[in-house]
Amino acid sequence: MTMTHLPADDQALFARQSAGICAALDAYIPADKPVAFIPFPFDGNVGNHMMWIAVNDYLKARGIKVAYTAQPWTLNLQHLKRAVGDGTIVFLGGVSVSRLWPWHAELKRKVAAACPDNRLISLPSTMILIDDEDRAEAATLFSGHADVHMLARDELSAAHARAAFPDNVNVETVHDTAFMLPPQPRDKAAVEMDIIWLARDDHEGAGFARPDNIMVFDWPSALALNHPSVLASRACSKARDLAPALNPGLNRALNGAYRSVSRTMLRRGNQALDRGRVLVTDRLHPHVLAALRGQFCVMLPDLYGKNRAVWDYSSEAYSTIYWADDPEQALALARDLAAQDAATG
């Protein structure tokens, strides 16, 4: 297994998008202040871990200290405030303000209320709001907070956010942070079948019928509780609550354990995609991972338009990434791509 050598045009596109993301983050995250980076995605969604790794690598490259991090259920607002001081609070991207995943929005609401003087940055996210009730609820998230920057990962999300948020909330369109990752390994010797289908199994799915004679799966499940990185993160988190005086060192150790968890999850994601020549998916981040691997991928719509919005803004020009409106079109295209991949070895 080796790191993928991407086509020159794809390499150049990744470089341009990564530079644009870095420029936006440089503008909003001061290098001379600590950062709180929350929440850690202790789940099986490899896409969340892709974003976590990319942002941690960015912060490390700039020499910015991650003074506080936590999972959603271990977040302690007093510890966060003590650790970050007058620094910046950075929220992981994803689906961040709508009621599709309401705990993301509730976490932002709590942090904004507890930290009125800190800069708040929400990393590139989908902010497609479902209806008037969803828009009205999103508009109250920051309650007049004076320094809030919401980064939308597509133009549709930016339009929704600007229509919903009051003038105190700055909205900018920035590519998803996963596009900052380096090329990923692909083991062609591990291919077991021409086409694999990574399908959503939640309320964002469009309800497509699953095809016969195709391996259908979702992202690998989260790591077992007895995995060394998981055990290390739990120990650091508990010790931080019990010994506040040791928090600076424990926060560094906890962030290191979280990075290890995320890298393990990304490795499992790569191994899952190794099983097929061509990936068909209605999840968002698998197509980014496929592009980083130089692997053919056919994207399908999700229920709310998230995938198409990111395809239009970020992904259409990648040489291995294709769009299909329905499973029949996707599978016909995937079969042609599989034959092409087989012919080129």
- Evaluate whether residue 60 is within a structural domain: yes
List the domain range (segments joined by +) for residue 103: 7-180
- Evaluate whether residue 197 is within a structural domain: no
- Evaluate whether residue 152 is within a structural domain: yes
Say how far apart CA 282 and CA 220 lie, in whole Å: 15
- Evaluate whether residue 37 is within a structural domain: yes
pLDDT score recorded for residue 112: 94
What single string gives the DSSP state of each residue in 155-224? HHHHHHHHHHS-TTEEEEE---GGGGSPP-EE-GGG--EEEEEE---STTS--PPPPTTSEEE-SPPPPP
pLDDT score recorded for residue 326: 95
Q: Residue 209 carries which side chain, given as an amino acid letter?
A: A
Q: Residue 238 carries which side chain, given as an amino acid letter?
A: K
Domain total of the chain: 1
| 266-325 pLDDT per residue, tens | 999 999 999 999 999 999 999 999 999 999 999 999 988 999 999 999 999 999 999 999
pTM value > 0.85: yes
- Evaluate whether residue 294 is within a structural domain: no
Tokens standing for 264? 């393990």
pLDDT score recorded for residue 158: 95
Closest CA to 211 of 195, 235, 188: 195
Give first-to-last CA distance, the chain, whole Å. Answer: 14
DSSP E strands, 51-147: 66-69, 88-91, 94-95, 119-126
- Evaluate whether residue 261 is within a structural domain: no
Closest CA to 46 of 229, 271, 236, 231: 271
- Evaluate whether residue 219 is within a structural domain: no
CATH number, residue 65:
3.40.50
The stretches in the chain having pLDDT less than 50 are none
pLDDT score recorded for residue 3: 62
Tokens standing for 111? 């942090």
- Evaluate whether residue 140 is within a structural domain: yes
